A and B are shown apart, each in its own frame.
Chain A
């Protein structure tokens, strides 16, 4: 199975094969890798058909909604799925962020109709574990996902269904790799945020700082922002600054004022507008939660 697909990938420019497939729109239309993905997609239809995950319902939702908002909602739900799985799998924040970014970047270039989003999400989690060197076992990913779709059900038996699911996840991982042109390692805001936190902390009285849960809030905001496509549309530094800004603002922490604001110092090219844009995107996600769940 893997051999022919990888050969196709190597014969031509790998990215083009995948991308060409995605543009043609239908899984049946292209041979090689996308065909495999379609197989994977159909397999993943297994759990979807049984449990009726939220994604399916969303797609069949009311007509009044535009396609765009429907898609955003689906992505929100799938990202929620990735994050919940991440917690259950004991993933650190950075691998979860990578998984979400992989997911968003994948669906940036392909249509949601062609690929089963939850299968892609599972593969993204798996791939992110590899990228961020926190290797996860497919068995755990499948188990956690299975329980997510079939609430409180017994774990899967070691039978054909399990192995097919596993095959789908692995095949889909290859598809994602080709689709993203093997560019799977990203620069995340996490590192920036933590360094900014250290610098900002030094500006504030230490007792005031320990009293105020700025670090927790900023970290929570940063994690939450991966529900949407913000991670693609904003620079990681800007996201880090914005989450920190919002966290400080939420608690009314007074910062010393000089010729330049603290955020101007930490990141040269960030403007007040950038920060506001990130914050407004982020706050929209919180509104979205009420609509989606």
Chain B
């Protein structure tokens, strides 16, 4: 209990209140603690009537609330916004009360404080300053002081100088109205000094401008007080109603804020309305939240029911309804995510699960499903050779559940893959340097220097992307057992799900195969002069890690640039090249084998053809590079299916291709003087091509997804030219470089 407050109250009410208090608050230990202290003082009794005893009883009964330190919650806000008048600014009440002069004067000296603002009229100017007769208070205290005959001194030091050498006092004349801050107050001698320096005001009044003021600028309470003084009929209420601020619709909120009383947790002296009796869970917002969750859950349940009966659209509608009722409802998000995942929308599923986990980080199903979906998506990305992203997804899955075996296995595999590719890469560079030491023709040396220069430039850029592209080529064998089985299982599953589109894809497949036949026919050219260029291209795709010759390396450089600049397009690009060769070739990784195969199937024209095809596919990749993820996914599936269907035929051609490839490469390598390396690479390629058809082709086989366009498309590079327009500038640049390089190549080492 606030002892001082209680004492103040007892002084006012007298002994009787103390007695009542002792009766009413016997059980209050707080009161007992202060009672003995209060009892010492003697209270002179004032006149008490019947009403008074009632009030005393009330005070006594509610004393534990009234004098509780927590009862005083108000933190008054003291901003003076006189210009706007958000509430009725009334003239001082003592003006109406007609309080005697002496009392008012005493009150003023009691209550006026340093830092208040006052307005006065200059009545005398001396060399050390001027004297003011105070008119009114202008901030801090709101009193009627005009007739109190208060004089204040403003010393010359307290007048801000204007910078010139003039006497600052020369700006002021007798009769001027001056607003100043109270600098000092001598309560006993009744002397007031004011200052015109802004620092003299207390901080919350700092916005008030000091100096000469016009009559219109005088405070509202003063001008309204003048009206009262002049017109005896004016009453407080009449002025109140006449005030603009009184009619402000939010005057209650404003004044409550100023008084510091809370309207959210309103005070009450009723025992039952004490704020401690209000529980958070009884508040409307809390109930509404709970209710929304429960209503949403109902929708989710019926949605799950729909889902179980295969009515996916209805299920989705229910889930969406649930989320409309209760945004971020975890159950609805998880259920919808599961539905998305089932439908193959991995990204949407992941985002739903993530959102669900955000609101409820411990939701078991959300975590579990998110793990599974992340791994699933990671596998998709791995197939698309986005190894780094895939690795990130696996890591995210493991961060959610570090004992999730599938994620662990997948992460292990992918780190192996990446590491191996890096190692292979290092080996390759080591070999190169070795070779560089051995004797070389001057042309080779020159080329080498050029190449080194280029590499230095691109070193940083390359590291991630090239490692990923090369890793696939080197790493397939170790991957094979698990990935093949899982991918097969998956593809089977997908096919089941996508049963409806089966026919369409078949048709497309047929068409595309027909097209490839046509192409084969028309591309049976005699061996073109620039075979080395086309070879280089191929080398480039095949990944720079394994099997690079000098020419091949340079080709690889160019390719890598493409890879760096736009991996997605380059993937499409190389892929489409592959798919034109084989229709449904697993890309990248078994490029070596692909090359062999393409050679075998196209005979002599093969090299030329692949070069051709690449150029065209480049154009196409431009045209269709922006094909949606979805379409890609579909065509991927088809490609996989097709590749599986073809596997027997593939096997046959593989045999051939292996031979062919080896023969060819050996021939060439002998030509270029690096037989051992080529031999190894073709060996590798063989191994890869063997497993190629089983491993799902990772990204679009454009030939199938764009079957129609493919047929209608003119077979010659003209189409590529048309597509060029849509390309970003940097890619264009690269292509130009490639073309130049090609030309140079054609003229260079071959001759």
Contact check, A220 vs B267: say whether CB atoms are below 8 A apart: yes
Q: Which A residue's beta carbon lies closest to that of B51?
A: A276
Contact check, A216 vs B71: say whether CB atoms are below 8 A apart: yes
Give Cα A19 to B724, complex, Å. 85
Contact check, A203 vs B94: say whether CB atoms are below 8 A apart: yes
Q: A208-233, CB under 8 A of B: which get 1 and which 0?
A: 00111101110111011001000000
Beyond A217-B267, A220-B267, whether A195 also contacts B103 by CB under 8 A is no
Determine if A197 is an interface residue (Cβ-Cβ < 8 Å).
yes
Contact check, B72 vs A216: say whether CB atoms are below 8 A apart: yes
Question: Which residues of chain B are within 8 angstroms of A191 by Cβ–Cβ distance?
Answer: 246, 251-252
Question: Which residues of chain B are within 8 angstroms of A261 by Cβ–Cβ distance?
Answer: 97
Contact check, B99 vs A256: say whether CB atoms are below 8 A apart: yes
Q: Which of B55, B99, B266 contacts A249 (CB 8 A)?
A: B55
Question: Which residues of chain A are within 8 angstroms of B265 by Cβ–Cβ distance?
Answer: 87
Contact check, B270 vs A286: say whether CB atoms are below 8 A apart: yes
Determine if A268 is an interface residue (Cβ-Cβ < 8 Å).
yes
Determine if B107 is an interface residue (Cβ-Cβ < 8 Å).
yes
Q: Which of A87, A252, A258 contacts B8 (CB 8 A)?
A: A252
Q: Which A residue's beta carbon lies closest to that of B140?
A: A206
Contact check, A286 vs B62: say whether CB atoms are below 8 A apart: yes
Contact check, B107 vs A256: say whether CB atoms are below 8 A apart: yes
Determine if B58 is an interface residue (Cβ-Cβ < 8 Å).
yes
Question: Which residues of chain B are within 8 angstroms of A194 by Cβ–Cβ distance?
Answer: 87, 251-252, 255-256, 259
Q: Which A residue's beta carbon lies closest to that of B11?
A: A252
Q: Which A residue's beta carbon lies closest to that of B54?
A: A283
Contact check, B270 vs A227: say whether CB atoms are below 8 A apart: yes
Q: Which B residue's beta carbon lies closest to that of A152?
A: B281
Beyond A155-B291, A258-B94, A259-B98, whether A90 also contacts B270 by CB under 8 A is no
Stretch from B209-217, B282-290, B437-445, B638-646 that touches the partner = B282-290
* Closest beta carbon of chain B to A200's beta carbon, Å: 7
Determine if B237 is an interface residue (Cβ-Cβ < 8 Å).
yes
Give Cα A157 to B290, complex, Å. 11
Contact check, B90 vs A216: say whether CB atoms are below 8 A apart: no
* Closest beta carbon of chain B to A215's beta carbon, Å: 4
Q: B14-58, CB under 8 A of A: which get 1 and which 0?
A: 000000000000000000000000000000000000010011011
Contact check, B252 vs A251: say whether CB atoms are below 8 A apart: no
Give Cα A276 to B110, complex, Å. 32
Give Cα A222 to B296, complex, Å. 42
Beyond A256-B97, A260-B97, whether A88 also contacts B294 by CB under 8 A is no
Determine if A49 is an interface residue (Cβ-Cβ < 8 Å).
no
Q: Which chain A residues (257-293) contact chain B, with CB distance < 8 Å?
A: 257-262, 264-268, 276, 279-280, 283, 286, 289, 293
Determine if B273 is an interface residue (Cβ-Cβ < 8 Å).
yes
Determine if B169 is an interface residue (Cβ-Cβ < 8 Å).
no
Contact check, A213 vs B74: say whether CB atoms are below 8 A apart: yes
* Closest beta carbon of chain A to B299's beta carbon, Å: 10
Contact check, A258 vs B100: say whether CB atoms are below 8 A apart: yes
Q: B124-147, CB under 8 A of A: which get 1 and which 0?
A: 000000000000000001110000
Contact check, B51 vs A280: say whether CB atoms are below 8 A apart: yes
Determine if B172 is an interface residue (Cβ-Cβ < 8 Å).
no
Q: Which of A89, A197, A258 contacts B99 (CB 8 A)?
A: A258
Q: Which chain A residues (106-164) contact chain B, with CB distance < 8 Å?
A: 133, 139-141, 143-144, 147-148, 152, 154-158
Give Cα A157 to B287, complex, Å. 12
Q: Which of A190, A215, A256 contacts B94 (CB 8 A)?
A: A256
Determine if B199 is an interface residue (Cβ-Cβ < 8 Å).
no
Contact check, B269 vs A266: say whether CB atoms are below 8 A apart: no
* Closest beta carbon of chain A to B539's beta carbon, Å: 67
Contact check, B93 vs A157: say whether CB atoms are below 8 A apart: no
Number of interface residues of B (CB under 8 A): 81
Question: Which residues of chain A are within 8 angstroms of B526 by Cβ–Cβ distance?
Answer: none
Contact check, A265 vs B259: say whether CB atoms are below 8 A apart: no
Contact check, B282 vs A144: say whether CB atoms are below 8 A apart: yes
* Closest beta carbon of chain B to A12's beta carbon, Å: 34
Contact check, A224 vs B98: say whether CB atoms are below 8 A apart: no
Question: Which residues of chain B are within 8 angstroms of A266 by Cβ–Cβ distance?
Answer: 93, 236-237
Q: Which B residue's beta carbon lies closest to that of A257?
A: B99
Give Cα A192 to B96, complex, Å. 17
Determine if A58 is an interface residue (Cβ-Cβ < 8 Å).
no
Determine if B159 is an interface residue (Cβ-Cβ < 8 Å).
no
Determine if B208 is an interface residue (Cβ-Cβ < 8 Å).
no
Q: Which A residue's beta carbon lies closest to that of B284?
A: A140
Contact check, B260 vs A251: say whether CB atoms are below 8 A apart: no
* Closest beta carbon of chain B to A197's beta carbon, Å: 6
Q: Which A residue's beta carbon lies closest to that of B68?
A: A213
Contact check, A252 vs B13: say whether CB atoms are below 8 A apart: yes
Q: Which B residue's beta carbon lies closest to that of A260?
A: B97
Contact check, B9 vs A250: say whether CB atoms are below 8 A apart: yes
Q: Which B residue's beta carbon lies closest to that of A265?
A: B96
* Closest beta carbon of chain B to A243's beta carbon, Å: 11
Q: Which chain A residues (72-126) contact chain B, with CB distance < 8 Å?
A: 80, 83-84, 87-90, 92-94
Number of interface residues of A (CB under 8 A): 77
Question: Which residues of chain B are within 8 angstroms of A283 by Cβ–Cβ distance?
Answer: 54-55, 57-58
Q: Which B residue's beta carbon lies closest to that of A151?
A: B282
Q: Which of B71, B93, B96, B290 has the largest count of A CB atoms less than 10 A from its CB?
A: B93
Contact check, A202 vs B269: say whether CB atoms are below 8 A apart: no
Contact check, B273 vs A260: say whether CB atoms are below 8 A apart: no
Give Cα A261 to B5, complex, Å. 23
Contact check, B283 vs A211: say whether CB atoms are below 8 A apart: no
Determine if A62 is an interface residue (Cβ-Cβ < 8 Å).
no
Beyond A80-B272, A87-B266, whether A156 also contacts B291 by CB under 8 A is yes
Q: Which of A87, A156, A250 contacts B66 (CB 8 A)?
A: A250
Contact check, B72 vs A213: say whether CB atoms are below 8 A apart: yes
Give Cα A260 to B11, complex, Å. 23
Contact check, B237 vs A143: say whether CB atoms are below 8 A apart: no
Determine if A17 is an interface residue (Cβ-Cβ < 8 Å).
no
* Closest beta carbon of chain B to A263's beta carbon, Å: 10
Determine if B88 is an interface residue (Cβ-Cβ < 8 Å).
yes
Contact check, B288 vs A139: say whether CB atoms are below 8 A apart: yes
Give Cα A242 to B284, complex, Å. 33
Determine if B651 is an interface residue (Cβ-Cβ < 8 Å).
no
Give Cα A254 to B295, complex, Å. 58
Contact check, A197 vs B92: say whether CB atoms are below 8 A apart: no
Question: Which residues of chain B are within 8 angstroms of A267 by Cβ–Cβ distance?
Answer: 236-237
Q: Which B residue's beta carbon lies closest to that of A88?
A: B283
Give Cα A219 to B103, complex, Å. 30
* Closest beta carbon of chain B to A225's beta carbon, Å: 10
Q: Which of B5, B88, B259, B287 contacts A211 (CB 8 A)?
A: B5
Q: Which B residue's beta carbon lies closest to that of A259?
A: B98
Contact check, A224 vs B283: say whether CB atoms are below 8 A apart: no
Beyond A87-B266, A258-B99, A286-B269, whether A202 also contacts B74 by CB under 8 A is no
Contact check, B103 vs A216: say whether CB atoms are below 8 A apart: no
For the complex with contacts A211-B5, A286-B61, 16 further pairs of A-B residues with Cβ separation under 8 Å are A80-B270, A88-B278, A92-B263, A94-B252, A144-B287, A194-B87, A199-B90, A199-B93, A202-B92, A206-B113, A212-B72, A220-B267, A223-B267, A250-B59, A265-B96, A267-B237
Contacts from A to B (Cβ < 8 Å): 80, 83-84, 87-90, 92-94, 133, 139-141, 143-144, 147-148, 152, 154-158, 190-192, 194-195, 197-200, 202-203, 205-206, 210-213, 215-217, 219-221, 223-224, 227, 237, 246, 249-254, 256-262, 264-268, 276, 279-280, 283, 286, 289, 293
A-B contact pairs, 28 of them (CB 8 A): A90-B283, A90-B284, A133-B249, A141-B284, A143-B284, A144-B287, A147-B282, A192-B240, A195-B87, A195-B240, A195-B246, A202-B143, A205-B110, A206-B141, A212-B5, A217-B269, A249-B55, A251-B5, A256-B103, A256-B104, A258-B97, A259-B97, A260-B97, A260-B98, A262-B93, A267-B236, A276-B51, A280-B54
Complex A-B, nearest 8 residue pairs according to Cβ-Cβ distance, in ascending order: A252-B12, A258-B99, A155-B291, A258-B97, A194-B255, A213-B72, A259-B98, A220-B267
Contacts from B to A (Cβ < 8 Å): 4-5, 8-13, 51, 54-55, 57-59, 61-62, 66, 71-74, 76, 87-88, 90, 92-94, 96-100, 103-104, 107, 110-111, 113, 141-143, 235-237, 240, 246, 249, 251-253, 255-256, 258-261, 263-273, 278, 281-285, 287-288, 290-291, 294-295, 298
